[in-house]
A and B are shown apart, each in its own frame.
Chain A
Amino acid sequence: MTSYFNEMYQGTSVRAPYARLQDWMQAMPAELRQMKQAEAEALFRRIGITFAVYGEGGDPDRLIPFDMFPRVFSGTEWARLERGIKQRARALNAFLVDVYGRGEIVRAGRIPARLVYLNEAYEKAVAGFVPPKGVYSHIVGIDLVRTGPDEFFVLEDNCRTPSGVSYMLENREIMMRMFPDLFRENRIEPVDRYPEILRRTLASVAPQKCDREPTVVILTPGHFNSAYYEHSFLADLMGVELVEGQDLFVEGEFVFMRTTEGPRRVDVIYRRIDDAFIDPLCFRPDSMLGVPGLMDVYRSGGVSICSAPGAGVADDKAVYTYVPDMIRFYLGEEPILQNVPTWQCGKAEDLKYVLAHLNELVVKEVHGSGGYGMLVGPKATQDQVELFRARITANPGNYIAQPTLALSTTPTFVAEGIAPRHVDLRPYCLVGERIELVPGGLTRVALTEGSLVVNSSQGGGVKDTWVLAE
């Protein structure tokens, strides 16, 4: 029986960050709790925050369960996380600038050339281009799990367009509305500056040819996208237009949006669509979502695209293994946050080990996301294990494996009362002229007892994440 780190209790005593929640929890009768839970759900429905996180797809009107019990970090705990996250974000960006430039890390033999240059996410079209301020990934979402008081592991990096930040903001908003007393008693760092910092970050990477206050827009694939709510929510909070590809066009050296008063120049595009779709002239010619000619304008310094096309090569699950090396190579520092030990099935000896230990390991597809294409060995049936054995053997390079981590738990409201449930964390690091991190993030919780899968498509919920002021 694995023992899990409980973030609230150490034996019978309450850990300091959760001290004040103990009384709150005990003072809340079941009826009040149910009433509050219903109130929270009604608020979510009303504002229309019904969408899937992490590009999981599914019913756009589905509501992700919200758990009212907050997840808490002390200021000290957070300070270390913050240093680690920023360090990682810097290294990932340095890597991107490098591999689209001289490729020093490859030349130095620290990472195999094929892993980078034959990677599907490597965009030859941006080779030789350094985006403004040398930033490729402007919003880095780093998925973390905790296994002990000081043990944090990075599960994966998201350098393209990590989603879910609207939950971070809405969860807080709803908690403050429902439990104002809690916020008076605890000194909780605010997260509501995020939209403003994001806007400033985006404005700080205005293109070379921009000689005025930059116009920022969010580019969405459209209202059928499962994260459309988040796109429109962020646009609203930042006070910028939410555009679709059809709203933009290229004329001469610039990109413009179509308005009722005529063309208006756009300087920075925070895109929430994949590389393959942003410009049918450069990438997929059948894309209806993008803007023809956008890449030419981008590369000639007429517009900035965030994240930069090609940023995905840094968050590939096979490249992930090398992030600690990147930190040492580019920053000359030791990684503050650890990687989860990873076996790459593409390597013969790793493959052998993985196939022999499938019942203990978590196996993931290199390009998969959302908890699909994933095997949790200890929880899987023998049929599932055999299915994966066949799949891995057929295409080993497409799979990696990791040990099953003992994810920490936090108290969570469940039908029977309060019980520990496993959680992870995604903070959102903003990289522009400066690197900034709002104290908080999205905590996902596996609501099913014993489950380690926090994805909302598989029974996961979300929590407000607190960082206490020191």
Chain B
Amino acid sequence: MLSRTADNLYWIARYLERAETSARLLEVGARIALMPSAAGYRNEWESLLHASGTADGFARKYGDAVQRNLESWFFFDRDNPSSVASCITAARENGRIVRTALTTQVWDALNTAFQELRQLERRPRSEMELSFLTDWTMRSTALVRGSIDATLLRNDGWDFLNLGYYLERADNTARLMDVKYYVLLPRVDFVGSGLDNYQWTTLLRAMSSHRAFHWAYGGEVTAPKIAHFLILNSQCPRSLITCVEGMTNHLDRLARSYRRKTAAQDKARGILAELAEMRVEDIFDEGLHEFLSRFIGDMARAGGVIHDCYLNGDVR
């Protein structure tokens, strides 16, 4: 397929996943803000802005982290390239460009999300609860995802869509965890405290994973259990290893159908092999933040290799 088409498909998925993450961040922030906190809620919102990589943009536009501005920023603001509105608009535009590579159902879901967004933008903000906006986002993105799974031909386009989903999700999970561990918990004596537990639970909730976690682990919520769940447990749909497995799987499919292996397969396999061998203790020995930073870097490099091997049009 045209490299540009593959690139458009890949970015449809990345934008949709990113829209979902922005909604999740918004939810985490709102919940944490309801908590008494040592450093004040502003500090926590700052951390979320850092996690989304848009702190500078927010500071330039609004300065202070006021709740209402944050809601605008994460949901409606077109100046924030990661806002729900920006991402859904970009995903739909990418979809329009490659309309013929999508089924009617996928296009319908994507287009409907965009049309509804335009209606939301016209409604008075006071009418809309935060949870309404985040629920709407989850539902809209899930509908697209479902239509893709149910109706799309399993060709290379499908693989590029899924690569986008998995890559973005891996990156986002790592960032969300990093926020919790590194920023929200600056003091070691919080570890194991009620506050610590509450924050972890909030994080799980934001990933729609707290029930799954309890079923899988039971008992106390502890940092090692959470780290295991979100990094090494391939039953968890958002864990790093699940995402990397997904990437590897789709890259292997591409290699088979193109009858050609590239550096992308090697890169993904390398990351997967490391995760598969890893124990929770290794992660904490390295330091969770250090590990996550390294992983985020790895994902960025994997994205770069995929770009060079398939999407940039210079493939020989």
Known: A48-B111, A241-B2. A261 touches B315 (CB 8 A): yes
Which residues from A are CB-within-8-Å of B100?
Answer: 232-233, 235-236, 242
Q: Are B313 and A258 in contact (CB under 8 A)?
A: yes
Stretch at the interface among A179-187, A243-251, A388-396: A243-251
A242 nearest CB neighbor, chain B only? B100
Contact B2 A223 (CB under 8 A): no
- Give the residues from 239 to 277 in chain A that come closer than 8 angstroms, CB to CB, to chain B: 241-244, 246-247, 257-263
A107 at the interface (CB under 8 A from B): no
Q: Tell whether B60 is near chain A: CB-to-CB under 8 Å.
A: no
In contact, B99 and A260 (Cβ under 8 angstroms)? no
CB distance from A147 to the nearest CB of B (A): 40
CA distance A229 to B156 in the complex (A): 23
B108 in contact (CB, < 8 A): yes
The docked-state distance in angstroms from the alpha carbon of A262 to that of B160 is: 16
User: Inside 8 A of B311's CB, which chain A residues have their CB?
Assistant: 260
Query: Closest chain B residue to A46 by CB distance?
Result: B108
For A236, what are the chain B residues with a Cβ–Cβ distance below 8 Å? 99-100
| Interface hits, A141-189 → B, CB 8 Å | none
Q: At the interface, is chain B mostly helix, strand, loop or mixed? A: helix
Q: In the complex, which residues of chain A have a beta carbon less than 8 angstroms from the beta carbon of B96?
A: 48, 223, 228
B1 at the interface (CB under 8 A from A): yes
Complex-state Cα separation, A123 to B260, whole angstroms: 44
| Contact of A258 with B97 in the complex, beta carbons under 8 Å | no
Does residue B132 face the partner (Cβ distance < 8 Å to A)? no
Q: Which residues of B contact A228 (CB under 8 A)?
A: 96
Determine if A244 and B4 form an interchain contact, defined as CB atoms under 8 angstroms apart.
Answer: yes
Cβ contacts B211-238/A at 8 Å (1 or 0 each):
0000000000000000000000000000
Given the known inter-chain contacts A223-B93, A244-B4, please indicate yes or no for A261 contacting B260, CB distance below 8 A.
yes
A258 to B96, CA, bound (A): 20
Q: How far is the CB of A292 from chain B (nearest CB, A)?
A: 15
List residues of chain A with CB within 8 A of the CB of B45: none
Would you give the 0/1 interface string for B297-316, flagging 1 where the beta carbon is closer than 8 Å to chain A?
Answer: 00000000000001101111
What's the minimum C-beta distance from B47 to chain A, rounded to whole angstroms?
38
A259 touches B3 (CB 8 A): yes
Q: Tell me if B15 counts as interface (CB < 8 A to partner A).
A: no
Would you call B97 and A247 a contact (CB within 8 A)? no
CA distance A48 to B313 in the complex (A): 28
For the complex, count residues of B whose C-beta is within 8 A of A: 25
Contact of B1 among A46, A223, A232, A260 (CB under 8 A): A260
> Chain B residues near A262 (CB, 8 Å)?
315-316
Inter-chain contact A260/B314, CB cutoff 8 Å: no
> A241: nearest residue on chain B (CB-CB)?
B2
B117 partner residues in chain A, CB cutoff 8 A: none
CA distance A362 to B315 in the complex (A): 55
Q: A260-B311, A263-B316 are in contact. Are A243 and B2 (CB under 8 A)?
A: yes
Would you call B99 and A258 a contact (CB within 8 A)?
no
Q: Residue on A with the closest CB to B96?
A: A223
Task: State whether B316 touches A260 (Cβ < 8 A).
Answer: no
Q: How far is the CB of A388 from chain B (nearest CB, A)?
A: 39
Does B107 interact with chain A (Cβ within 8 Å)?
yes
Least CB distance, A269 to chain B, in whole angstroms: 14
Contacts of B243 in A (CB 8 A): none
Within 8 A of B (CB), among A364-387: none
Chain A residue nearest in CB terms to B107: A48
Q: What is the CA–CA distance of A244 and B2 in the complex, to the nearest angstrom?
A: 10
Tell me if A261 and B2 are in contact (CB < 8 A). Answer: no
For B314, the chain A residues whose CB sits under 8 A away are 258
What residues on A are CB-neighbors of B1 within 8 Å?
Answer: 259-260
B residues near A46, Cβ cutoff 8 Å: 104, 108
For the complex, give the distance between the alpha carbons of A262 and B3 in Å.
9
Residues of A within 8 A of B254 (CB): 260
Residues of the A chain whose Cβ atoms lie less than 8 Å from the Cβ of B4:
244, 246-247, 258
Interfacial chain B residues near A48, Cβ < 8 Å: 96, 99, 107, 111
Complex Cα distance, B311 from A247, in Å, reads 11
Measured between C-beta atoms, what is the minimum distance from B115 to chain A in Å? 9
In the complex the two chains form, is B97's CB within 8 Å of A260's CB? Answer: no
Minimum CB–CB distance for A170 against chain B, Å = 14
Assess whether B85 is interfacial by the CB under 8 Å rule: no
Q: Closest residue of chain A to B111, judged by CB?
A: A48
Contact B3 A247 (CB under 8 A): yes
- With a cutoff of 8 Å between Cβ atoms, the chain A residues found around residue B258 in the complex are 260-261
Tell me the nearest residue of chain A to B94, going by C-beta: A223
Bound-state Cα–Cα, A177 to B313, Å: 41
Residues on the B chain within 8 Å of A263, using CB: 315-316
- Contact residues in A for B206 (Cβ distance below 8 Å): none
Q: Cα distance A228–B108 when bound, in Å?
A: 18
A260-B3 in contact (CB<8A) = yes
The residue on A at minimum CB distance from B310 is: A260
> What is the bound-complex CA distance between A102 and B111, given in angstroms?
54
Q: How far is the CA of A46 from the CA of B99 in the complex (A)?
A: 12
Which of B3, B93, B316 has the most chain A CB atoms closer than 10 A to its own CB?
Answer: B3
Pair A247/B2 contact, Cβ less than 8 Å: yes
5 contacts between A and B (CB under 8 A): A47-B104, A223-B97, A232-B99, A232-B100, A260-B160
New contact pairs (19) apart from A223-B97, A241-B2, A260-B254, CB-CB < 8 Å: A47-B104, A48-B96, A48-B99, A223-B96, A228-B96, A232-B100, A233-B100, A236-B99, A242-B100, A246-B313, A247-B3, A247-B313, A258-B3, A258-B4, A259-B3, A259-B315, A260-B311, A262-B316, A263-B315
10 A-B pairs closest in CB distance: A258-B313, A236-B100, A223-B97, A260-B310, A258-B3, A260-B6, A262-B315, A261-B258, A232-B99, A232-B100
